[in-house]
Amino acid sequence: MAVFAYKGLSEAGRNVQGVVDAESARAARARLRRDGIYPTAVVEESASPQGSASSWRPGARITNADLALLSRQLSTLLSAGVPVVEALAAVGEQSERAVTTRLLSHLRDAVSQGTSLADAMLEHADSFPELYVGMVRAGEAAGALDVVLERLATYTEAQTRLRARVRNALAYPLIMTLVSAGIVILMLAFVVPKVTRIFAEQEQALPLPTRILLGASSALTDHLWLLLLVTGAATAAAVAALRRPEGRAWFDRRVLRIPLAGPILTKVAVARFARTLATLLANGIPLLGSLELAGRVIGNEALRAAVEDARTAIREGAGVADPLRRSGLFPPLLTRMIAVGERSGELEPMLERVADAYEQDVENSLAALTAVLEPAMILVMGGVMVFVVLAILLPIFEINSLVR
């Protein structure tokens, strides 16, 4: 069965396009007509310059939301006894996104030729993270692929929700900062120089706010290229330093100590680590392998190094909690819950509870921080505007009094 890209008209007369699986172009046209689509062009993907199911386009990837959805759909079909190849074909047919259909078609072709699902996913690292592939491989080996896919769907949805909460909480302060900086730069670059001409004709001393404003405007307009050059050089040096493991570890360690933001970032990383480790252990991944994968997705090089040190200590006979506690980077709640889980043999449930607690704590902390930042940003922006207006109006008032 091949994949065909099509363009056509719907019954409502709208232009539509997408991909469809069929034995031939004629079968593809017939299927589209049954679905109420009148095709104007049907091209087999292997002949299309845009790529094919057997030749995946570099950079093409599915979103985390799509990954969670297809994982849950595949789990449902597999638990009902549908073979993997047929399940992949069915989910691909139901998808409304062409990139997902192409991906699943490629996986279906690879699996039908004898490749394991995990090995087929390895060819699409942009869409399937290493953790995902590792769990699928464990599920195939244990004969519980449907259970693993269900857990992966739940895990992916939880991670997506956490990222969305952080992104939404930071969106407003970031927009306010950019707008405020843009307004100030525009005033210093265009408004203030025009007003300066009036002040230059007067020989009287200017108020301090006016002198500060004129100095900032002069520095911006007279040395703009120098400022841009210095900023670009500093950015390039910072990027080069962060690409080195030592520089990234130093930066990530300092980030965790930033007031207000540092504790929240630590909670986000700990929640991701605990959720990932619990999911891996629940699916039969050995402890050392689970720690390695969980450390890679933690998102902080300093914390990842601490996890690696813990793996070394575990090889020598230590438990999980003590090495993490000695690093001084992980919160006491996490290490205490891990210690309790190790003693009781309930490590996975304890990690799930830690993840739930920290995810809720992150949401509460972000809500509180946003509630403080929004009025603070408004006050700062208002203060800057008041200073600029006063710096411009004070000498004007003095000029008017002299004229009178």
Q: What is the pLDDT of residues 93-145, one digit of tens each?
A: 777 777 888 888 888 888 888 888 888 888 888 888 888 888 888 888 778 88
**pLDDT value of residue 59:** 45
**pLDDT value of residue 198:** 66
Which of the two residues, 227 and 325, has the higher pLDDT score?
325
Q: Is 402's pLDDT higher than 70?
A: no
**pLDDT value of residue 169:** 76
Q: Evaluate whether 43 touches 5 at the Cβ level (below 8 Å).
A: yes
Count CA atoms closer than 13 A to 183's CA, side-chain side.
14
- Paired strand residues for 5: 19, 43
pTM, full prediction: 0.65
Mean of all residue pLDDT scores within the chain? 80
Q: Evaluate whether 210 touches 395 at the Cβ level (below 8 Å).
A: yes
Q: Evaluate whether 307 touches 296 at the Cβ level (below 8 Å).
A: no
**pLDDT value of residue 233:** 92
The torsion region of residue 326 among left (phi > 0), alpha (psi -120 to 50) and beta comes to: alpha
C-alpha torsion angle, residues 14, 15, 19, 22 (rounded to 10) = 70
> How is residue 14 annotated by DSSP?
-
Could you tell me what percent of the chain has a pLDDT over 90? 1
Residue-range domain boundaries for the chain? 1-52, 171-404
Closest C-alpha among 311, 337, 336 to residue 323 = 311
Which of the two residues, 82 and 50, has the higher pLDDT score?
82
* Sign, Cα dihedral of 338, 342, 343, 348: positive
Give per-residue pLDDT as tens, 241-286: 888 888 888 888 888 888 878 888 888 888 888 888 888 888 778 8
Which of the two residues, 180 and 398, has the higher pLDDT score?
180
Q: List the single range of 55-59, 161-165, 335-339, 346-350 with lowest mean pLDDT.
A: 55-59
CATH 1.10.3720.10 fits domain 171-404: no
**Average pLDDT for 282-311:** 85
**pLDDT value of residue 55:** 43
